[in-house]
């Protein structure tokens, strides 16, 4: 997937994959993270 020059909102879950982990992955693929949030969806 080509993420270069894309803007990403990273929504993570406390018990699953955290938003910060998603942000690191998409940044390494060339995307810009505009929002990085980790919530508890219970």
CA distance 27 to 3: 9
Output the pLDDT for position 42.
Answer: 75
| Model confidence band, residue 41 (pLDDT cutoffs 50, 70, 90) | confident
pLDDT, tens digit (0-9, with 9 covering 90-100), for 9-39: 999 999 999 999 999 999 999 999 999 999 9
pTM confidence score: 0.83
Cβ atoms of residues 26 and 33 within 8 Å: yes
User: Which stretch of DSSP H or E encloses residue 31?
Assistant: none
């Amino acid at each position: 997937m080509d993420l270069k020059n894309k803007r990403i909102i990273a929504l993570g879950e406390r018990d699953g994959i955290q938003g910060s982990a998603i942000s690191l992955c998409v940044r390494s693929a060339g995307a810009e993270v505009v929002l990085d949030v980790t919530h508890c969806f219970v």
